[in-house]
Amino acid sequence: MYYKLKDDLRLRGWELLPTGIVRQLSDEVSFMPTDVYRALQKACGSVPVNSPLFSPKEKKILDELLQEGILEETNTPVPLSPAQKYRVYPNRFLYSVHWSITGNCNCRCRHCYMSAPSAKIGEPSLEECLDVVRQMEAAGLRTVSLTGGEALLRKDFFNIVDALLEADILITTVMSNGLLVNEGILDKFEQRGIKPEFNMSFDGIDCHDWLRGIPGVEKAVKRAFSLCKERNFPTGAEYCLHKGNMDALRESVKLLGELGCQTLKVNRLSLEGEGLAMADKAITRDEEYQAYLDYIPQFYEDGAPLNIMLAGIFSNVGNNDYIIPCEKNLEEEDCDNYCLCGHARSHMYITPDGYMVPCIPMGSVEGGRRHFPNLKTTSLSSALQDSYYMDFIDMRLRDYFTHNPGCESCKYRNRCAGGCRGHVAAVGGGEDLLARDEDTCAFFRQGWYQKINELMASVLNKS
């Protein structure tokens, strides 16, 4: 008998993480202890199961790998296929990219941060997109989500999809306004053996068309949600909260739940891009937080119709628990060496014009983008080795405290940890990426944190 690596598994390594194993066209990635990885590599060849070349410790490891379904036994030697053989990438590990493949759109959203209605940024050519895919493959990227503008507007959309799948990069999500989500699009994804989530904006019953700038979008997106539910494609939604749709939140969440939507993120209107002309519709931070406090009991009264995140201050965990996403650490933790933004360590956003930035808000303003490398002059792999991008995402909490000494003595220093870098970039024009996030600061220091916890103690006690 011989050991054989399961057909859909591949051996991979990255700088500082050399012992990786990934599943073909999947979001599954794991990193093994060095001794386990060495035993696995030794077993993936022509060495018989009972060979004295395996130490007792290695045999125990291999038995565990058999039980875990990583290895299987065969009667004859089965060497690793070319795709399975160990491949090491010269760069740091990056799990996923959120990729804007176009700056064009078929809506005229009044708040668009990239001014897609006027195609201000435009879109990369197909060859430029295929080159980006090649760079992703060369860096060992595992998953991608596609956005725009409106990603489905591209007539060569499925050329890009096919290139990604050929490169063993799973498409997890398509961000869309829903206008072009139809049977044909879903058929083409099913034919390729994948069912990505369709994440579609929904800005309130009888309010959606106004924000999206053209009539009929609300009807179209509800049809798209229903179709995805019928076809078993997962869906999520985004809700931009402003003065005109605050009162519609409760009924809109209930409707989204009925339409099969599984997740919803709610954030207040941001005054950037086209949104600069909407200051009269914007709500304040305090108005936003109070709206959430008012709504949370209603959310549970309605049976928690979906999984919801309200800004960074509340997210339900089923019907009986919750988390506060912006609460990063416990006060008693020694976290000065923690990464300033954990999300940015494994996720990147690529703008339509090629900037590699940690997140959408940081790429939404010129002042934020200008700090970071561009694919037109720097390869993805190079950016993940030596660039300001790596310098930024590797910043530690101690670096933030050095820049903001007043925060170091705050009793919420660890919980807040400076707040969200993306929000800081968006509201500050990207001038000081290490500035204090005033929203998160106010959440903790002005009593909203206590109010959420007190409210939830009451809500969960009743349920």
Q: What is the DSSP string of 414-453?
A: HHHTT--HHHHHHHHTTS-TTS--HHHHHHHHTSHHHHHH
> Do 332 and 352 fall into the same domain?
yes
* Residues 176 and 295 occupy one common structural domain: yes
Give the number of other CB atoms < 10 A from CB of residue 27.
Answer: 12
For residue 318, give every residue at least 6 positions away whose Cβ sits within 8 Å of its Cβ, in sequence order, or none.
304
Do 125 and 12 belong together in one domain?
Answer: no
Which of 31, 61, 89 is the endpoint of a domain?
89
**How many distinct structural domains can be found in the chain?**
2
Structural domain boundaries enclosing 125? 91-462
Examine the domain organization and report whether 85 and 96 are in the same domain. Answer: no
Q: Do 73 and 122 belong to one domain?
A: no
| pLDDT for the residue numbered 276 | 87
How far lies 167's CA from each of 30, 158, 190, 324, 382, in Å? 19, 14, 18, 37, 19
Say if residue 146 is in the same domain as residue 227: yes
Domain CATH code at residue 360: 3.20.20.70
Give the separation between CA 15 and CA 88, rounded to whole angstroms.
Answer: 8
For the chain, state the CA radius of gyration. 24
For residues 301 and 210, membership in a common domain is answered with: yes
Residues 6+ apart with CB under 8 A from 167: 133, 134, 136, 137
pTM recorded for the entire structure: 0.96
Shared domain check, 97 and 77: no
Do the strands 307-310 and 263-268 form a parallel or antiparallel pair, or are they unpaired?
Answer: parallel
Two tokens, residue 461: 């006690």
Nearest to 212 by CA among 227, 223, 202: 202
CA–CA gap between residue 125 and residue 67 (Å, rounded): 47
d(CA 417, CA 399): 11
Do 65 and 159 lie in one domain? The reply is no
- Position 462 scores a pLDDT of 79
Element at 20 (helix H, strand E): strand 17-23
Residue after which a domain boundary falls, among 61, 89, 117: 89
pLDDT number for residue 113: 85
Q: Which of 74, 89, 104 is the last residue of a domain?
A: 89
For residues 155 and 96, state if they share a domain: yes
Beta strand 235-241 with 197-201 is parallel
Tokens of 426: 């968006």
The burial of 107, by beta-carbon neighbours within 10 Å (0-12 exposed, 13-18 middle, 19 or more buried), is given as buried
* pLDDT mean values, one per 10 residues, the chain (463 residues): 97 99 98 98 91 96 98 95 98 98 94 76 95 99 98 98 99 98 99 99 98 97 99 99 98 99 98 89 98 98 98 96 97 95 95 96 89 96 97 97 97 97 94 97 98 97 78
> 257 preceded by cis ω (within 30°)?
no
Distances in whole angstroms, Cα of residue 21 to Cα of each of 11, 37, 140, 402: 5, 9, 12, 38
Q: Are residues 231 and 335 in the same domain?
A: yes
Q: 85 and 95: one domain?
A: no
